[in-house]
C-alpha cells in the first residue's frame, strides 16, 4: 500500500474505532482477516464466509453466516438482508462480540446486555417480525442439534416446545385456554434470560497484536 493510501486507511480506521469501540490494532487485524476472506475484494459475500473450513463442523454455520448479512445487526434500524458487506459492516457485526469494559455503569451494562441479546434474538427471529414464533424456535433448536444425528432431530421439537412453554408461563403467567401466545417478543426474551449473564459471556478475544502464526487457514 502506498503512503497516501495507508494514511487514508488510518483515518478511516480511526473513524471506525470511534464508532465500534475496537482498538486500532484490532481493526487492523480484522481488516487483514477481512481481506483474506474476501480475497482482497472490498466486499465480502456469503460464499466467502461459507468457504471457511473451520465452520464446517459448526451446527450454527448457516445462522452465523446469515447474521453477518442481516441489516438489523448492522446497526441500521431496518429489516432485511444484504448480499455483500463491506469492512465496516463486518466490523459492526463483530462489535457485538466485544467484551464489556471494566468500569461501566449500571445503565451501560443494561444497554450492552440488550444489544447482545438483541443479536441472539435476531438470529432466532428469521422473518424479522419482532417475535420468535414456535416455528422459528423449533428451527433454531433443530439447527443446534443438527450434528447430533437422528436423536437430535427427534428431540429438537420437543425441546423447543418445552422451552416455549416455559417462556409463555414465565412471561404471561396464567393463560386462559383461548388465549394464544404468538411468540417470544424481545421483552420476553430479556425476561427469560434475566439470569443469563450475557454481558460476561458473549464475547471473543480480539487480538491486539498481529499474530500471523496463530491464524487458522481458510
Partner 1 sequence: MSVRVALHSRSFLERGLLLLVILIFLEGTVLTLGAASSPDISAQDNTGGHDHLDDHRGIAGSHVHPNYTKKAFPVLSLDYHHIQVPFEISLWVLLASLMKLGFHLIPQLSSIVPESCLLIVVGLLVGGLIKLAGEEVPPVLDSNLFFLCLLPPIILDAGYFLPIRPFMENIGTILMFAVVGTLWNAFFVGGLLYAVCQIEGTYLSQVELLPCLLFGSIISAVDPVAVLAVFEEIHINELLHILVFGESLLNDAVTVVLYHLFEEYSGAGEVTPMDVVLGVICFLIVSLGGIAVGAIYGILAAFTSRFTSHTRVIEPLFVFVYSYMAYLSAEMFHLSGIMALIACGAVMRPYVEANISHKSHTTVKYFLKMWSSVSETLIFIFLGVATVAGPHAWNWTFVSVTVILCLVSRVIGVVGLTFIINKFRIVKLTTKDQFIVAYGGLRGAIAFSLGYLLDKNLFPMRTMFLTAIITEIFFTVFVQGMTIKPLVDLLAVKKKQEAKRSINEEIHTQFLDHLLTGIEDICGHYGHHHWKDKLNRFNKKYIKKCLIAGERYKEPQLIAFYHKMEFKQAIELVESGGGVKLPSAVPSQVSMQNIQPKKLPPPVAERALPQFTKGREEEIRKILRSNLQKTRQRLRSYNRHTLVADPFEDGWNDFILKKQRLIELEKKMTEMSNYLTVPGATPDSPTMCRARLASGSDFKAEKGGAKVIPDPNAFYNIKASSDGVPTIQVDLASPQSPDSVNMLNEFSKRGATGQGLGQREGADRDEDQGLMMKPAGKGEKGEEEGGNKNPGLMRCLSDPGPSNEDEEDEPFLP
Among 37, 41, 76, 87, binds partner 1 (CB under 8 A): 37
CA of 52: how far to CAs of 13, 35, 119, 140, 185, in Å? 25, 13, 22, 22, 33
Among 2, 47, 180, 187, binds partner 1 (CB under 8 A): 180
With a CB cutoff of 8 Å and minimum separation 6, the contacts of 212 are: none
Under the criterion CB under 8 A, does residue 82 sit at the interface with partner 1?
no
How far apart are CB 170 and partner 1 at their closest, in Å?
Answer: 6
3 or 214: CB nearest partner 1: 214
Residue 109: enclosing H or E segment and its boundaries? Answer: helix 106-124
8 or 110: CB nearest partner 1: 110
Phi, psi of 84 (to 5 degrees): -130, 155
Distance (Å, rounded) from C-alpha 157 to C-alpha 135? Answer: 9
From the list 115, 66, 71, 74, the residue with the least C-alpha distance to 92 is: 74
Length of the chain: 218
Among 30, 40, 129, 131, binds partner 1 (CB under 8 A): 30
Residues of this chain, 110-139, that bind partner 1 according to CB under 8 A: 120, 123, 133-135
How far apart are CB 14 and partner 1 at their closest, in Å?
Answer: 21
How far apart are CB 181 and partner 1 at their closest, in Å?
Answer: 5
75 or 157: CB nearest partner 1: 157
Under the criterion CB under 8 A, does residue 61 sit at the interface with partner 1?
yes
**Which phi-psi region, left, alpha or beta, contains residue 8 (left: φ > 0; alpha: ψ -120 to 50)?**
alpha
Under the criterion CB under 8 A, does residue 46 sit at the interface with partner 1?
no
Among 52, 79, 82, 84, binds partner 1 (CB under 8 A): 52
DSSP of 155-179: HHHHHHHHHHHHHHHHHH-S--TT-
Residue 198: enclosing H or E segment and its boundaries? Answer: helix 198-201
Under the criterion CB under 8 A, does residue 179 sit at the interface with partner 1?
yes
Among 12, 35, 55, 114, binds partner 1 (CB under 8 A): 55
79 or 100: CB nearest partner 1: 100
Among 16, 74, 94, 190, binds partner 1 (CB under 8 A): 94
Residue 114, CB half-sphere, CA atoms under 13 Å: how many? 9
4 or 195: CB nearest partner 1: 195
Amino acid at each position: 500500500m502506498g503512503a497516501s493510501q495507508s494514511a487514508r486507511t488510518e483515518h478511516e480506521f480511526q473513524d471506525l474505532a470511534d464508532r465500534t469501540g475496537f482498538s486500532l490494532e484490532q481493526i487492523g487485524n480484522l481488516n487483514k482477516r477481512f481481506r483474506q476472506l474476501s480475497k482482497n475484494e472490498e466486499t465480502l459475500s456469503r460464499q466467502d464466509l461459507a468457504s471457511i473450513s473451520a465452520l464446517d463442523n459448526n451446527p450454527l454455520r448457516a445462522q452465523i453466516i446469515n447474521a453477518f448479512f442481516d441489516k438489523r445487526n448492522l446497526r441500521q434500524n431496518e429489516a432485511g438482508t444484504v448480499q455483500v458487506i463491506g469492512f465496516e459492516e463486518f466490523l459492526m457485526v463483530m462489535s457485538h462480540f466485544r467484551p464489556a469494559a471494566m468500569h461501566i455503569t449500571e445503565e451501560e451494562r443494561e444497554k450492552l446486555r440488550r444489544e447482545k441479546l438483541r443479536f441472539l434474538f435476531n438470529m432466532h427471529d428469521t422473518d424479522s417480525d419482532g417475535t420468535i414464533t414456535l416455528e422459528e424456535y423449533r428451527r433454531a433448536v433443530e439447527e443446534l442439534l443438527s450434528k447430533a444425528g437422528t436423536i437430535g432431530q427427534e428431540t429438537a421439537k420437543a425441546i423447543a416446545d418445552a422451552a416455549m412453554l416455559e417462556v409463555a408461563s414465565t412471561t404471561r403467567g396464567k393463560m386462559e385456554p383461548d388465549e394464544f401466545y404468538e411468540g417470544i417478543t424481545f421483552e420476553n426474551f430479556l425476561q427469560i434470560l434475566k439470569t443469563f449473564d450475557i454481558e460476561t459471556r458473549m464475547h471473543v478475544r480480539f487480538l491486539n497484536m498481529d499474530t500471523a502464526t496463530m491464524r487458522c487457514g481458510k
